[in-house]
Every structure is written in C-alpha cells, then in structure tokens.
Amino acid sequence: MSEYRLPQDEILFVLSELIGLEAVAELAGLTHTTLEDVTSILDQAGRFASETLAPLNRVGDLEGATLANGEVRTATGFREAYGEFCSAGWCASAAETTYGGQGLPRLINTALYDVWNAANISFSLCNTLTDSAIQLLQLHGTEFQRKQFLPKLVSGEWTGAMAMTEPQAGSDVGALSCRAEPKDDAYRLKGQKIFISWGDHDLTSNIIYLVLARLPDAPEGSHGISLFVVPKFIPDESGEPGTRNDVRCIALEKKLGIHASPTCVMEFGEKDGAIGWLVGEPNRGLAAMFTMMNTARLAVGHEGLGIAERAYQQANSYAKERLQGKNCDGDGIPIIAYPDVRRMLLSMKARSEAMRALCYDAALSADLSAHHPDQAVRVLHDDRVALLTPIVKAWCTDGAVDVTTTNIQIHGGAGYIEETGAAQLLRDARVTPIYEGTNGIQALDLVRRKLGGDKGLAMKSLIEEMRQFDAALSATEDGAIVAIRGRFAEAGSALARTTHTLLGALEDDPETADAAAVPYLDLAGTVLGGYYMARSALIAENRISAGDENAAFYRSKLATALFYAESILPRSAGLALAATSGAATVSHMQPEAF
C-alpha cells in the first residue's frame, strides 16, 4: 500500500477559509485555536500518522486481533503505538481540561480524526469509542462516576466501549434481554453482548463498558432500558484496577475488514454477575446512550472521510506511476493521461472534498452549540448538528464505499489482488454503512425525527442559507462560477421541493415517507456537497484573481468544484424523483410479491 501523506493544504483550506476557524477562536473554554497552533498540531499529527500508524495498517489487516486463553491480543506494534499516541497527548485532545484534556474544539479534533482514520482506521476506532464514552459520562455520569473514570479515560490509561447489541436485539434495541439486579450499592448484570468493537484488548490495564440492560421491574420495549457503567476491573481505593469483574470476551468475530479492531462477543455475569453502576435515571438509558451513539455516528462519518482520502491518495499515486501504452516517441504513458482515469480520480477527489467540508461544518456547529454565548445561536446550531448527524454518517460512509471501489477500478487487476492494499480499504470501508445504525436507519432518523420533529424548520433554515449564498455567486462573471451556480440552483430547488413533498407525506402517508428516506438523505448530502464545493470555488476564484502565490492549488479547487457541479450534482434530479414518485411504488409493494 502506498504511503499516507498529510493533506495539509486541503485540511487548512477547509478549516481556515471555507468553514471558518475564527468562529471557534472566539469561544470561551477552547484552546489552541489560532492558525499557527492548528498548523503545528497537524504537522505533529501527520508525522505520527505517516511514520507510526500507517505502516501498522497492513500489519493489522494481516495479523488481526487474536483470542487465546481468555485474553485478547492486538496485532504486532499496536500496543507500542498506543503508548506513543497517549504519551503525545492525542488521547486527550478534545476532552475538558477539568479532567486532564486539552480542550480542543470539535472542529480541530475532527481534523485530527481525518488524519488518524486515513492512516489506520482500526487503531483510530479504539480512541473514537473512548472519546464517545467520555462525552457520555461528562453529561450523564454522577460526580463519583466522573471522578472515578474520566481522568483515566482522558489520559488513555483506560479505554471505553459501548455494549448494546445482543443476538436478538440489533437495530431493535428494545428487544434486549440483559438483566441488572440491584445488590448493595450497585447492580449485578447478566447477559451476552455481541459485535462489541474493542470490547477487550491488551492496550490498557482497564476497559470501561457502557452497557444497556433491564431492571427487574422495567417495562417492555425501549422504554424499559437502563444504562450502566461496568469496568473490566473494579477500581480499588486508590483508583487503580483492582478485582477482576465478572465480564469476559468469549469469542472474536471473523470479519470482512478492520481485522485489527477486536470485535468481541462479551459475557457479562457468567458467575455472580458483573458489577455496574446506574448512569442517569432508571429506564432512561437509551436517551443517555444516544449521547454516545450520536458522537459515534459522527465519528463513523469521519471514518468514511479518512478511508476515502487514503484511497484517493493511493489511486493518484498508482495512476501516475503505472505505465500502459506508448506515445509516438516510444515512451510509456502513465494511465493518468487517459481521460477515464482522470474522470475517476476527479470523482474520488470531488466526493472526498465535499465529505471533508460536511464533516467539518457539523463539527463547527457542535462547538457553537456547546460554547457560543448567545443562547439563540446555541439552539440554532444544536438543531443544525442534529440534522447533519445522520447525513454525515450515511452520506460519507456510502461515499467511502464508492471511492474505495473506484480505487480498485483504477488499479485494474492489481486492485483485485490483496498485495496492493486497495482491497483492504474497500473491506475496511464496508462496515461503516452498517455499524452505529445502518444507513437506512440514519435515513429514517433524518426523515422521521429531524424533518418530522420540527416540521422541517432546521432543514428549511439550511436551504435558506444556501439560497442566500446564490447572491454571492451571482456577483462574479467567471465562466466556471456561472456554470456552478446554474447546477447548484437546480439541485437546491430539487431539495426544497422534495422536502416539501416529504413533510406532506409524513402527515398523510408515513410509509411512503419511510420509503423515500434513503434517496432523500442521498439528495440532501449531494446538495450539501454542492453547496460546500460552490463556496470553495468562489474562494478559489477570488484567490486566483488576486494573484495568490498558491494559484495552482486554487485552480485545482476550482476545477474540482466544477466537476462536482457538472458530474455529481445532476444526480439530484433523479434522487428527487426517486424520493417522490418512486417511493410510492416501494411502499405499496407487498412482501408476498417478492
């Protein structure tokens, strides 16, 4: 597999020119927000990613995690890399300074995960889950739980894991049967959980599980689920790992991809019951767990971005090195000279850049919703990040599968051979549309809860923002900008019309609205991508006109945005049709007809 290179110009462009780093620099409680600070942080992250994490990506794929004598072992080099990762302070990047974190904005932390995921998604996934557990305990944990667990989680001495899924309870979380019996000042949990990412490993001395279970008197369904914090080792009086809890990994799943990430079958309470403590209120566990789930869903979208970036880099390198055919002088022709290869590379580049902008914009809204001094602004961005979460998760992960597939196509037969590493990227990407809520469920969440929950207000606000940007586009006569504006206006209108239609369907024909959900989410992501690319194009055109010394970079940005407008945005019309006319056919097709 080709080496990973930090796309620093791309990341800094999105942070400082497109999304607006200055917006977080003004927020209280956040640190290291100057462009100089961010550049330095990215330099260090890029070196660690390219020199340490990326070389382990192939090792982890070949060796995988192993289970022997009841103990899970990670692939060669992972434990040492994790120690270096924590020693450098990367584990604590976005956590509150109160618990030893660095207090970085979510915007900058998202840029870091852009780097970690591209270098080694299996490794990055461990810290993603810990980061999600930290956020959950900060919001819902008792004072004792925060003091007991957060400092160790923030430092990376311990890791976090989410234990939800059971054999009979996948997407239907309400069907879970894990039980929690009160005993003394804690609870005893008994039950089996499956598909637990990083459920056991040898990186740290302890693992903290956030476990969903039922109390004895709990009502049936999702309204009877409580949340518990369950450590692998019970902390002693000094806060260090003490007695082994009644929890263990009984099997590792054999998976298509992310082999280095141990996906565990966990048994809680094989003997007397795993000791745990209630987090939040009884029977309100699912609401609390959604804090962790929503953070994780955004993080999975970031995984899609990272894998897409790595695939684009690999395809770009291969296309410039691989010679096929000869010119009139008898010299070999690199395949990048052929138009269809350039088309495929442009599609990868354009989709990846749009994904990056979407992920970073959602992260900015997360920062503004948490830290802006004006309550109205906080509410606006709280609604915005809620709206964008299913789009980030689904659109970016579907995009990752598309981009990694195109990477294999550019490699030709070599891409189908494991040795090149192109196949690994597709295998690793394939789980991202599935876990943390399938992309079909993300689409239902977008339509039912986000669109239906506020009668479309958050989406209409976003559509209006895009309409207002049209005035900025109309102020220039540049040919590329004029072309982009025309395509963007058509796509924006398609999204507005389809949104109106779905709001009506939610009232009159909910099943048809459900059938429209997936193409509607794809439409929203595609149009949003066009919005970010149009903004990028306008910035680039202004820089070129001003004679910027980095004109070659901005010409590439402008050309990529034009490609997106001409070759990707036109899909909006078909998606709008599928979400309106086509949805009725789906909803009216009876199961017995298949």
Among residues 303, 305, 295, the alpha carbon closest in space to that of 14 is found at 305
Helix orientation angle between 143-155 and 121-140, rounded to the nearest 10 degrees = 160
CA atoms within 13 A on the CB side of 234: 14
**Strand-pair category, 332-334 with 323-326:** antiparallel
> Pick from 317, 322, 402: which is nearest to 355 by CA?
402
With left for phi above 0 and alpha for psi between -120 and 50, is residue 204 left, alpha or beta? beta
Give 251's Cβ-side CA count (13 Å radius): 8
Give strand ranges (E) for 274-420: 274-279, 323-326, 332-334
CA atoms of 434 and 424, how far apart (whole Å): 17
Burial class (CB in 10 A: 0-12, 13-18, 19+), 327: exposed
Amino acid letter at 536? S
Is 22 labeled as catalytic in the residue annotation? no
> Measured at the alpha carbon of residue 462, what is the angle toward residues 460 and 463, in degrees to the nearest 5?
65
The total number of residues written for the chain in this structure? 594
Q: Which amino acid is at 214?
A: R
| Spatial separation of the C-alpha atoms in residues 137 and 393, rounded to whole Å | 23
Nearest to 234 by CA among 282, 290, 196, 185: 185
Residues whose CB falls within 8 Å of the CB of residue 328, separated by 6 or more in sequence, listed in order: none
Q: What backbone torsions phi and psi does residue 431 show, to the nearest 5 degrees?
A: -75, -20
How far, CA to CA in Å, does 6 sit from each of 217, 306, 587? 53, 11, 46
Q: Which of 10, 309, 436, 541 is catalytic?
A: 436
For residue 353, which phi and psi values (nearest 5 degrees)? Answer: -65, -40
Report the C-alpha gap between 40 and 560 in whole angstroms: 27
252 sits in which H/E element = strand 247-252
Q: Find, among 138, 271, 124, the residue nearest to 210 by Cα.
A: 138
Joined together, the tokens standing for residue 491 give 């796509």
User: CA-CA distance, 301 to 279, in Å (whole number)?
Assistant: 27
Secondary structure of residue 191 in the 3-state scheme: strand
With contact defined as beta carbons under 8 Å apart, do 308 and 374 qualify? no
Residue 223's Cβ-side half-sphere holds a number of Cα atoms within 13 Å equal to 2
Cα 560 from chain centre = 23
What DSSP state is assigned to residue 296? Answer: H
SS (H, E, C) 26-95: CCCCCCCCCHHHHHHHHHHHHHHHHHHHHHHHHHHHHHCCEEECCEEECCCCHHHHHHHHHHCCHHHCCC
Catalytic residues: 436
